[in-house]
Amino acid sequence: MLEVTTEPLLRRLVGEVLRRRRREQGRILKDVADEARVSLAYLSEIERGRKEASSEVLQAVCRALDLRLVDLVGAAHAELAAAEGRVVLDLTAPDALSGRRTARAVPAPSRAVGGPADVVLLAA
């Protein structure tokens, strides 16, 4: 029997990535909202996955978080792929020590996988 699973919504994945980045920086919502010139309430809704932000708003929030839009989309992609049990190799990630670009595996949840589409490469 075919197992039916529901994919997470893109707006939720994007919101999770933005919130995680903000928290990693130790910043409060108001800081980022002010810098991005969006309302605090609206940014909160975006982070919680309740609102679909326009590309202009996403760009402003990314800029405020010192995050490239391509990295936001890549992180959301990696989380979606991981939810499907795929391994993502990010060929664009710089090595923390050397600054050179190296492959970085994004871990997938532990479940049996098989088939040719279980590894996804990201390159830029």
- CATH number, position 64: 1.10.260.40
Tell me the two tokens of residue 96: 């923390």
User: DSSP of 63-122, one letter per residue?
Assistant: HHTT--HHHHHHHHHHHHHHHTT-EEEETTPBPTTT--B--EEEP--SS---STTSEEEE
Tell me the two tokens of residue 58: 């996403």
Domain with 64, as residue range(s), is 10-122
Tell me, rounded to whole angstroms, the distance of Cα 35 from its chain centroid.
20
Q: Quick one: pLDDT at residue 84?
A: 80
pLDDT in tens, 47-98: 999 999 999 999 999 999 999 999 999 999 988 888 888 877 767 666 545 5
Residue 4 within a domain: no
pLDDT in tens, 1-12: 666 567 889 999
Residue 69 within a domain: yes
> Is 79 in contact with 21 (CB distance < 8 Å)?
no
Give me the number of domains the chain comprises. 1
Residue 5 within a domain: no
Residue 19 within a domain: yes
Is the pTM above the cut of 0.85? no
Residue 1 within a domain: no
